[in-house]
Structure 1
Amino acid sequence: MTKADRALETRERILTAACEVIADIGFENVSMRKVAEHAGVSKALLHYHFDTREKLFAEAMTHSFAQTGTDTDAEGGSVPAAVVLARILRSMLPSDAELRQDWKLWQELWVRAQRDAAARHLAVDLYDQLHAWVGGAVERGIASGEFAECDVAALSTLVMALCDGLGIRLMLDDPRVDLATARSTIWRTIAPTLAVDPTFPEV
């Protein structure tokens, strides 16, 4: 392993540790020392890669986002657009332990974004990427004839708003909303616009 490979591996380990610690105790309670200990590195090495908590938080959010839903079309274009969109919806809801951790990070970002301009810009940028991710799946379905022509931007915004609202209810363990209900509610809402079966696809 080269020096560059070792540095990249260390950076990834630190970011993974930061995500776990922030999700566990909240950003306001996080110290660089706690992250270093969790990552199994020295505080000096942590500061070599990230000189402030704020930069570490931003990189951790970006890292967490990059890991979400990367396999929605692992088959290389052979999967129906409806299935790809359903997989994206699955990735945007707190449906397992890893995604619940991602949601905790998002919630930390929402809080910080109210008080910090850099966090606000980061949140908007990540939402832009989500918007493009959802919109890309919809555009693909329209191009293939699987979906009806529609306002892609408006539908993408609707999908994200539904995921945010229902995702919060899931994070609260609200007994009125379980994962199946959240998925089916979103799909039934967008199905008429896309002219597809209102039953959430098997993914």
Structure 2
Amino acid sequence: MSDGDAAEEIMRATYRALCSHGYADLTMQDIADESSKSKAALHYHYDSKHDLLCAFLDDLYDRFVELADDAGGEDPHEALLALVETVLENPDDDREEFETALLEIRAQAPYEDGFRDRLTRFDDYLIAELTGILEAGVADGTFRRDIDPADTAGFIVTVLTGTSTQRVTTGRPVECSQRMLTDYVETNLLAEPEGLSA
């Protein structure tokens, strides 16, 4: 088995173990039990559970970027809404358990630099993507010229993060937030058609 194959197996095993045990109770043995590797073999690749989870967050980031890049959209308006929809996509049962475990990891970020740096990377990427979409929309007349793309992107990411957290902690569905974000985009961001402005 190549190093790449071994790493992928460990990442998949980590995902399954997080779904089953959550972050707080997770052990290297739990991850080993979900793979063909021994606990000693895991320690050959990663010094500690913390190091393995940092690598897991790096792997998640790569998958997230790939997913976001595939969100599509014919124009800046559609691209913005497609990216929002991708981030808020309703998870299946396994993904729900995983998102709960990921929230536990997020809760450790204030105390764990490795976690905080990687979670910040997610937010920075999403803000940059949204900023680029908004800038393109301002340039081609889709969005109003007086909006600040970076500030608007930061606001949207804050709403998306809060919505995902509420889904995990209270079971609140995302549809209301998604609908309100769509209304916000269409009411506050879209440029008025020519000839209709005051």
- State whether TM-score is above 0.5: yes
Q: Does the alignment pair 1:26 with 2:12?
A: no
Among 59, 63, 66, the residue aligned to 2:55: 59
Question: Equivalent residue for 2:165?
Answer: 168
The answer on whether the counterparts of 2:141 and 2:191 sit within 8 Å (CA) in structure 1 is no
Normalization by structure 2: what TM-score?
0.80
CA distance in 1, matches of 2:101, 2:77: 28
- Which entry has the higher C-alpha Rg, 1 or 2? 2
Provide the residue aligned with 2:182 in structure 1.
Answer: 187
Structure 2 letter corresponding to 1:79: E
Structure 1: runs of 5 or more not aligned: 198-203
**Partners in 1 of 2:19 and 2:154 — Cα distance?**
26
SS in 2 for 1:29: coil
Give the alignment's TM-score, normalised by structure 1: 0.79
* Pairing 1:76-95 to 2, within 5 Å after superposition: 79-93=74-88, 95=90
Q: Distance in 1 between matches of 2:98 and 2:74?
A: 26
Tell me: CA distance 1:19–1:144, structure 2 relative to 1, closer, same or farther (3 Å): farther
Q: Name the % identity.
A: 18
State the Cα deviation string for residues 10-45 of structure 1 (Å, max 9, x = none): 101211221232243222211111112212222232
**In structure 2, distance between residues paired with 1:87 and 1:101:** 24
Determine the C-alpha separation between the residues in 2 that align with 1:136 and 1:155. Answer: 11
**Change over 3 Å in CA distance of 1:56–1:67 after alignment to 2:** same
Q: Which amino acid in the other structure matches residue 158 of structure 1? A: F
Over the residues paired in the alignment, what is the CA RMSD in angstroms? 2.7
Deviation at 1:162, TM superposition (A): 0.8
Q: How many residues align?
A: 190
Equivalent in the alignment of 1:200: none
